[in-house]
Amino acid sequence: MSYLRDRMIQAIVTVYLIVTLTFFMNKSMPGGPMDWLEQDIYQNPDLYGLPPNPQPEEVQEVIEMYINIPPDEPIHVQYYSFMYDFFIHQEMGESIIVAPHADVGDLILTYAPWTVFLSTIAMIYGLVVGVILGSLMAYWEGSRFDVGMTVTMILTGGVPYFIAAIFLLYFFGFQLGWFPTGGRADPRADVGMNLEWVLSVFYYASLPALSFIITGFGGSALGLRANSIRLLGSEYVRSAQLRGLSTYRIATTYLARNAILPIWTGVVIGLGGLIGGSVIMEMIFQYPGMGLLMFEAAIRRDFPVLMGVFAVISILFVIGTLIADFTYPLIDPRADVKESREA
């Protein structure tokens, strides 16, 4: 328990530091957001709704609106104001270009869920299938099943997901017409938690999810298989065999459960990356999500959005690591060990 409390403290400190870093990047980077914005406003005041030759106060107001840092105040006031807005109000400034005057936080919240949804489906399917297949393959090492699956997995794993995506799109979307060719949900259905809409969301996500799953499931399966094979000779596996346990039981409770331990941490840490999604996938399927948002913001130098996304994704990684640490003892009972030190 004390180990976990330590980790919480560490996580909180890290998050705090991330946001502080964001503040300084905004403010102090040469050519960074504040400087650039200031310059741009003076050069193109009309884009910002200001008269030509604007007054310094007006410029500062505009900057503050977008970046959330009052420009002329002393640094500790700026710092306090920025942090306060971030943590208490979740305000990260406003988008300049991508969606002018839209609150960055709102913007992220609009796009993120779609990406998270897609990535999560892909991840869960890939993981579950991968784990089951991986353990069975390990248990039947060398059999035709094992060899066949390995070959399949290597082949599918070697295909870049966007190739698979294009292929699926062409074949099942355009040629056969079984799946929609773009979009996130049925445009005719009313948005909301009604059955029709929800079903259409899943329907529209099918092809993108499938592209990820088909090309991705092999990785976790092969990883788990390798780990499991290492454990095959273990005394406890042999003991389980001697006790007459079924293949399935051994493969899951005795092999997979132990083999998954190193993989679990990787998975959970990767949770933080789910929100990033994939630009390419979103473009192929016209599936507006975080990927597209970040892309747009990046090309068009929409700093507030970029900074906001940076902060959010970093924090999510920290949360992901924290969840990994908290859940690891649930699957590995040996993990809740205190350090024994000399007095």
Per CB under 8 A, which of residues 197..236 are in contact with other proteins?
A: 234-236
Is the CB of 89 or the CB of 238 nearer to other proteins? 238
Interface mask (CB under 8 A) for other proteins, residues 125-164, using x and -?
----------------------------------------
Q: Is 3 in the site for other proteins (CB under 8 A)?
A: yes
DSSP-assigned letters across all residues of 119-186 = HHHHHHHHHHHHHHHHHHHHHTTTSHHHHHHHHHHHHHHHS-HHHHHHHHIIIIIIIS--S-SS-SS-
Instruction: Tell me the C-alpha to C-alpha distance, in Å, between residue 259 and each of 147, 164, 280, 326, 339.
Output: 20, 29, 33, 19, 25
Q: Can you tell me the distance from the alpha carbon of 5 to that of 92, in angstroms, rounded to the nearest whole number?
A: 29
Contact with other proteins (CB under 8 A): which of 199, 241, 266, 299?
Answer: 241
Q: Is 249 in the site for other proteins (CB under 8 A)?
A: yes
Smallest distance from other proteins to CB 147, Å: 17
Who contacts 265 (Cβ-Cβ below 8 Å, separation ≥6)?
Answer: 324, 328
Q: Which range touches other proteins (CB under 8 A), out of 5-13, 33-41, 190-198, 269-277?
A: 5-13
- Cβ distance 259 to 231 under 8 Å? yes
Is the CB of 259 or the CB of 275 nearer to other proteins? 259
Q: How many CB atoms lie within 10 A of CB 334?
A: 7
Q: Which range touches other proteins (CB under 8 A), out of 20-28, 68-76, 177-185, 333-341?
A: 333-341
Q: Can you tell me the distance from the alpha carbon of 146 to that of 222, in angstroms, rounded to the nearest whole number?
A: 10
Instruction: Tell me the C-alpha to C-alpha distance, in Å, between residue 2 and each of 44, 78, 323, 324.
Output: 56, 36, 16, 16
Smallest distance from other proteins to CB 334, Å: 5
Q: Is 341 in the site for other proteins (CB under 8 A)?
A: yes
Who contacts 299 (Cβ-Cβ below 8 Å, separation ≥6)?
Answer: none
Cα–Cα–Cα angle for 19, 27, 58, nearest 5°? 120
Cα–Cα–Cα angle for 106, 296, 185, nearest 5°? 65
Is the CB of 258 or the CB of 314 nearer to other proteins? 258
Q: Is 11 in the site for other proteins (CB under 8 A)?
A: no
Contact with other proteins (CB under 8 A): which of 75, 253, 299, 326?
Answer: 253
Q: Which range touches other proteins (CB under 8 A), out of 51-59, 119-127, 197-205, 245-253?
A: 245-253
- Cβ distance 138 to 232 under 8 Å? yes
Smallest distance from other proteins to CB 236, Å: 5
Q: Is 5 in the site for other proteins (CB under 8 A)?
A: yes
Phi, psi of 181 (to 5 degrees): -100, 5
Q: Is 243 in the site for other proteins (CB under 8 A)?
A: yes
Q: Is 334 in the site for other proteins (CB under 8 A)?
A: yes
Q: Is 238 in the site for other proteins (CB under 8 A)?
A: yes
Contact with other proteins (CB under 8 A): which of 9, 21, 29, 124?
Answer: 9
Q: Is 14 in the site for other proteins (CB under 8 A)?
A: no
Smallest distance from other proteins to CB 145, Å: 17
Is the CB of 46 or the CB of 235 nearer to other proteins? 235
Considering only CA atoms, which of 106, 73, 69, 74 is closest in space to residue 85?
Answer: 69
**In the complex, which residues of this chain contact other proteins (CB under 8 A)?**
2-3, 5-6, 9, 234-236, 238-246, 249, 253-254, 257-258, 261, 331-334, 338-343
